[in-house]
Chain A
Amino acid sequence: MTARARHSWLAPRVVAIGSLWIARTLAGLLVAIPIVVAISDSGMTNGPTRDAPLFQAGALALLELARTGSALLNSGLKTALVLAGSCAVLDLIPLAAVLDLLERADAENLGARLLRGVSLFPKFLGLSVITLLGQAALVLAGSLLGGALGAALHGQDERVATLLPIAIYALTLLFCICLGAVQDVARASAVERDLGARAALTEALTILRVEPLALLGGAYPSVAGSVCAWLASAWILGKIALGDGKASAIVLAFCVHQIAILLSVGLRVRWLGRALELGSRVDSARD
């Protein structure tokens, strides 16, 4: 690969990663604000070290916040959840724009790109609804099976009685992730060939049938990488003393967290690129 070719391959991905990260961060800010306002209004951050006591060892202040600020926190959390749901829906627009960018890396201004994202929004919404219904059915089946197994194994070997339902729940989660990967391929097909939601889903299921390993294996690094980033940041954060009142600790925590988010977003963009390629490959094979 020449330097020019690498640049032409890399540039849209960098823009895509940046765009998705900005979209996530803006949405994250919106979701975080009601919770932070609830914490600030609780009275527990009125001291000279602001909210440092909430992060101190022993959790004296944190538990008190949970007790005395529970009404505020409940209301903040409810608002945050509503906002998160709304943001998750609206985030379909930047996602569509990013897929469009990866598919057509021509020089186009941001406005036009976003407009295309808006035009794809109904199809993406339709796909999300179908996928969510499928995932809900899977979760319901998994819960029923796990619950029934748990009840049937009561009084038997304690480890088996605990681990078997957990294995069922884990398997359910895995199936849900697979369904999510199929949805991404359907989204890619919708962008690539301007298909409607149902046609795009049919196309994605065809790809799953023809190239199951390529589809599921393609999404594998994105999912595993996100989990890895999350665990790594959790481990590193455990070493940072946020409760000691130093501003540097906040900066460090912010950097660690944002690197984790960027890695996760980067891997997702990589997978979305793969999803677009999968459609083309199956088309070629079909031809």
Chain B
Amino acid sequence: MRQRTSDLALGTLFCALSLLFAGMLLRDADRRPKLDPKALTTHAELSPLSESADQVASYTLNAKLDATAHRITATETIRFVNRSPHALGELWFHLYLNAFKNDKTLFLRSPFGAGRSGDKAREYGYVDVKKMLWLEAGHKDLWPDRDKHSPGDPDDETDLRVPLPEALAAGQTLTLELEFEDKLPEIVERTGFEGSFHFLGQWFPKLARLEPDGQFAHFAFHAQSEFYADFGDYDVTLDVPQNYVVGATGTRDRESDDHGRALLHYHAENVHDFAWTAWDQFRTRSEQIAGTRVTVLYPPDQDANAEVELDSVRFALPHFNELYGRYPYPVLTLVHPPEAASNAGGMEYPTLITTGGPWYSTLGGGHFIDVVTTHELGHQWFYGLCASNEHSSPFLDEGLNSYAEAEALEARFGLGSVFSGYGLSVSSTALNRVISAARGGDEPVAEGAADFASFRNMGALVYSRTASIMATLARVYGEARVRHALGAYTRKFRFLHPTANDFLGVMNEELGEEAETQLARALFERGTVDYLVRDISNAPVIAPAGIFDGPSGREEKKREPAQAPAEYQSRVVVYRHGSLEFPVEIELVCEDGSRDFQHWDGHGFTHNVEHTGPSKVVWVSVDPEVRVVLDDDLSNNSTTLKGASAPRSFERALYFAQGLLQGAGP
């Protein structure tokens, strides 16, 4: 009996201690850096910023949600100004919701295993336009004359041409009145419904962007692609069941009740899209951060995630304000979809972003919620304000934003920006590097979204490789200079539609021609680089022997008798594979522990390093601090005459093996 009691007491003591240690491990892993309250103020801009965009396409929408049938009936008024110098004979419309109409659309016939969403539609969706009246042309209905399918693709209706019966002159305004109905798909990719949860992105007929050359930048909705549109103002009235909580682009400036329905009016200026969500289960939190009203909509029981999301915005919004120019809108809405609708998560719209993750995301040292929130917030600059073409140049939004995200996360969490806990920390730069290195030479980074062989390739190259290219520039040419350069780009092209050349131009001005050359090679020419070191040789320095003809006649010098040499002449060859050329440091470590650092400008394919000293060179590392994050293979950056060993790994492996045998063995 006494034994039993002592066993139970001892076991319980160990259980209590286990809980204590587990708690401390989790606490250490979940410890988050405290924010500096001063950082929450918005820094004054050094130079005036553009405050508004040219209004090209403005929309007034009245939408009524049938939350049971998952349908929307709506009217739409488009005011479009032809700001190109050319007369227009046609308009191009994107009807993105038709991507989910049937399995033969461009979107749904794409290889989905590697798509963003990973799931095909289980319930299909579409947008039906009933009429499209051109008011200035006597209310003529343009819709019957539209092309019936996307160019060259009879199975797709996401990119439709509408001919104009008369040309729209340069500078002339056109007003269209539309009626349309949406049938929402079950959430496939961002858009649709899951139970009573509804997320509406790309839900209305939308004009393609008119480029300065008078051509519309239009494209069918591809599973790898995102969007591109002109700036304008949006006035949207949403008619939803009264018990639904709604989040949307812009500011809610009016609301009223109507027989069990809520009528909510939203207004947004200088934006190029409008998205919204409605769910009867949403919880909300709201606070003022850096002059912006930030609201989080989240599922029940996800208070911890909502707090982390707010915390991310508390850090990242002022941080991005300072680096990339002040966020110009009075509101920002974060939407955390329920886990069953996780495909709606991780997306950006003007003044509205979606995050995501299960309820336990904040436990255990992973910073997934911070990563996704910071990334989507960064899109307010790299997509929202610098509204580049996401279809043709996805690296300008996703790539640059991935670098901005990594920079912000590392500024906040240090080297544990992705994960930190249990003695292990993983940085965003390391993660981007390893993903990017696996597919670095597959395709050019600066390709169009639909041109990539797979979404995996696009993800690795557009997101991770662009971030790694920028991280390499920062480490090689100076982090402050690259931050400033990126800030110069976002300020210069604020409320504009920059191209890849615009970006390269700013980089040239800010970082110089050599950096810009490497950048262009890395982006457009599948530029890669791999520094490697082989061949250490050491020879004793001895007086030269032989026959010498000097001014005093022929002289013969005998080889000195062998003795311990006073000095060694060491020679190392460092190689550079690939087309990118970055300057690197080379570290030589001698047998006596002394070190020598030598510089190589990175030009040429090989570089001879010579060292003379009292001790042999036994270790050589090229780029020991890994400034060239793009280096294809770090395993060949060092060589040694001492033989490789791994004492720490041995200790750890021994413990794990002992533990495995103790736990799972007899």
Contact = CB atoms under 8 A, between A and B. Distances in A.
Contact of B621 (A47, A232, A240, A264): A47
Interface string A40-65: 11111111101110110111111111
B649 A51 contact: yes
Interface in B156-191: none
A63 B663 CA distance: 28
Interface centre among B299, B621, B634 (most CB of A within 10 A): B634
B661 A27 contact: yes
B24 A59 contact: no
Interface centre among B425, B635, B653, B666 (most CB of A within 10 A): B666
B14 A227 contact: yes
Given A32-B650, A253-B651, A27 B657 contact: yes
A18 interface: no
Interface string B52-73: 0000000000000000000000
Interface in B619-635: 619, 621, 624, 626, 633-635
B638 A43 contact: yes
Contacts of B302: 158
Given A48-B621, A57-B416, A58-B427, A221 B666 contact: no
B25 A60 contact: no
B508 to A, nearest CB: 29
Given A218-B7, A234-B25, A87 B414 contact: no
Nearest to A31: B657
Contact of B648 (A220, A233, A250): A250
Interface stretch (A1-9, A66-74, A101-109, A143-151): A66-74
Contacts of A253: 648, 651-652
A67 B55 CA distance: 49
A231 B25 contact: yes
Chain A interface mostly: helix
A157 B301 contact: yes
Contacts of A220: 7-8, 10-11
A157 B12 CA distance: 32
Contacts of A84: 657, 660-661, 665
Contacts of B429: 58, 60
Interface centre among A220, A253, A277 (most CB of B within 10 A): A220
Interface in B442-457: none
B648 A221 contact: no
B10 to A, nearest CB: 4
B662 interface: yes
Interface residues of B, number: 81
A24 B658 contact: yes
Given A39-B649, A46-B638, A274 B3 contact: yes
Interface centre among A42, A54, A158, A249 (most CB of B within 10 A): A158
Interface residue tally of chain A, by bracket? 35 or more
B654 A87 contact: no
A238 interface: yes
A249 B652 CA distance: 12
Interface in B418-475: 421-427, 429-431, 433-434, 437-438
A50 B639 contact: no
Given A58-B415, A67-B437, A28 B648 contact: no
Interface in B100-145: none
Nearest to A131: B666
Given A220-B7, A228-B21, A274-B3, A35 B649 contact: yes
A265 B654 CA distance: 15
A201 B644 CA distance: 50
Contacts of A45: 644-646, 649
A224 B15 contact: yes
A59 B635 contact: no
B44 interface: no
A29 interface: yes
B301 A158 contact: yes
Nearest to B619: A48
B4 interface: yes
B48 interface: no
Given A44-B634, A162-B359, A232-B21, A226 B645 contact: no
Contacts of B339: 158
Contacts of B10: 220-221, 224-225
A214 B659 contact: no
B589 A48 contact: yes
B46 interface: no
A137 B196 CA distance: 41
Given A25-B658, A224-B14, A225-B10, A87 B665 contact: yes
Given A35-B653, A46-B639, A64-B434, A232 B17 contact: yes
Given A29-B657, A217-B11, A264-B659, 5 more contacts: A41-B644, A88-B666, A91-B665, A92-B666, A224-B11
Interface of A: 24-25, 27-32, 35-36, 39-48, 50-52, 54-55, 57-69, 80, 84, 87-88, 91-92, 95, 124, 128, 154-155, 157-159, 162, 213-214, 217-218, 220-221, 223-228, 230-235, 237-238, 240, 242, 247, 249-250, 253-254, 257-258, 260-261, 264-265, 268, 274, 277
29 contacts: A28-B658, A29-B657, A32-B656, A43-B638, A45-B646, A48-B640, A50-B645, A61-B634, A63-B431, A65-B635, A67-B434, A67-B438, A88-B664, A158-B299, A214-B3, A214-B4, A217-B4, A217-B8, A218-B3, A223-B11, A224-B12, A226-B662, A228-B14, A234-B21, A235-B21, A235-B25, A240-B423, A257-B651, A257-B655
